[in-house]
Structure 1
């Protein structure tokens, strides 16, 4: 049964909606899942039961400015999003001494937040799984690209099913507000542009280079992450730092929605290898 949505409050007053999925028996690992830009925690609904069946505790949350969390925070910086992840970890006791180890799993902008969290607070986690995510390179065209994408949405939608058809997956139909004139995605245009503003001009290579935990990098064969960018990620970390690369066939940028079964297999193999290495 899916847990009810609960809320916690960050130091700057933002309310974060979250779900804590705990298996009925003692869990071997905790996974904190971070969704991407304009998404919501319900995107993980196909993956969560598979991870629970493996014996993991799984926590999801709506990023600030998304889903059922505070819709228009004053601060949408990368640093604020890292602080949100840290707040969730600490408030829910996900990294207490003696507890099961913590893995951060992030897709797209959520993956960017995940590795920045690992760089700033390596003591809180022992591994990373990045899906279509990495340090990338500064892209001055990104704000215009995202603005055009948001403006292409034919809102309001007549129904949730119309939204699912437009976006290409049913999960999008679970992230809508109903208003008198129709259905609207639970995101604000200006807030979304603020969320990616720093990526237009700032490099994060140095932050990525400081991360030391084992990391799995997953690309969709038809995604937006360049193969060359993924291939460079192991080379910019300290020698001997474990960085695995894999590609999911028949998947685009939303690997977790396109191929949840194949993604689960890759995640399970990686996590099992971590357990084998410490046993």
Structure 2
């Protein structure tokens, strides 16, 4: 793991993986992976080998307040999350990257591409869109976090409760059991600004090709995806992975990989 220090002192833990030499040109394409709320960079482990084989340099990181990054950063604003992504891209000397974000990470990815089009060649939003506001979400997230029977007695118990092995791997072991690697109040503060308003102006300013991936059983509605197409008909493609929920990258990583790298990925966006 590597670490980068942001302007406000926040430490960001990241992973930077080059493609196999047999698949990589002198300057491989780079894909930056942004996880969702309460997640961690390890969520991308099932997707990463296929991306590397496809010739991508894969960069992922724990968002501020998450995982091994600073647990209680000075701010968790949307602007700070965007600045973290921008700073990491610049510190690694990257240019024109593909940015893939899921849920909260998708919002960060969209805001980055809207504000800094010179940095982003293409955008992939997984279960993320501009819709809102939704002021009930912070309370729903608080209730969900408060329902966790922490400390978990084992990783197996955590996996059963949380529903995904990758979520359980995001926990840390302490003498009394397994705990989240984040602060509850920081998570609620992180989601509060995101759900306070809609982000249609940022969506409409996007200049790069954009792939929107919905889980057929996920939270991004068909109506919102249709509105995304209506407001930005050129440059946008929507794909539905029917058997996936909100965590498409965990439920159907192979289908998501095929959507990103397969023959259909080369079709022109609308």
Indicate whether the TM-score tops 0.5: yes
Residue 253 of structure 2 corresponds to 260
Question: Secondary structure, in 3 states, of the residue corresponding to 1:213?
Answer: coil
| Structure 2: gaps spanning 5 or more residues | none
Kept in 1: contact 2:12–2:63 (CA 8 A):
yes
RMSD: 1.6
Question: Secondary structure, in 3 states, of the residue corresponding to 1:207?
Answer: helix
Q: Distance in 2 between matches of 1:234 and 1:257?
A: 26
Deviates more, 1:261-270 or 1:107-116: 261-270
Q: Distance in 2 between matches of 1:229 and 1:152?
A: 29
Task: Report the alpha carbon displacement of residue 180 of structure 1 after superposing the two structures with TM.
Answer: 2.1
Residue 4 of structure 2 corresponds to 8
Aligned length: 265
Question: Secondary structure, in 3 states, of the residue corresponding to 1:126?
Answer: strand
Q: Distance in 1 between matches of 2:143 and 2:119?
A: 37
Residue 222 of structure 1 corresponds to 217
1:198 to 175, 193, 199: 193
Deviations 1:38-88 (A, max 9, x none): 000000000000000111100000000000000011200000000000011
Task: Report the alpha carbon displacement of residue 271 of structure 1 after superposing the two structures with TM.
Answer: 8.4
1:232 to 221, 227, 230: 227
Q: Distance in 2 between matches of 1:154 and 1:170?
A: 16
Kept in 2: contact 1:77–1:198 (CA 8 A):
yes
Kept in 2: contact 1:102–1:124 (CA 8 A):
yes
Alignment pair present for 1:177 and 2:190: no
Q: Distance in 2 between matches of 1:198 and 1:270?
A: 38
Superposed counterparts of 1:140-151, under 5 Å: 140-151=135-146
Superposed counterparts of 1:45-84, under 5 Å: 45-84=45-84
| Structure 1: gaps spanning 5 or more residues | 96-100
Kept in 1: contact 2:37–2:187 (CA 8 A):
yes
Deviates more, 1:8-17 or 1:170-179: 170-179
Q: Distance in 1 between matches of 2:256 and 2:81?
A: 25
Question: Secondary structure, in 3 states, of the residue corresponding to 1:82?
Answer: helix
Question: Secondary structure, in 3 states, of the residue corresponding to 2:142?
Answer: helix
Residue 210 of structure 1 corresponds to 205
Alignment pair present for 1:248 and 2:241: yes
Question: What TM-score do the two structures reach when normalised by structure 1?
Answer: 0.91
Deviations 1:89-133 (A, max 9, x none): 0111121xxxxx410000000000000000110000110000000
Alignment pair present for 1:22 and 2:15: no
Residue 93 of structure 2 corresponds to 93
Task: Report the alpha carbon displacement of residue 272 of structure 1 after superposing the two structures with TM.
Answer: 5.0
Question: What TM-score do the two structures reach when normalised by structure 2?
Answer: 0.94
Q: Distance in 2 between matches of 1:43 and 1:270?
A: 25
Deviations 1:141-175 (A, max 9, x none): 11111111111111110011211111111112221
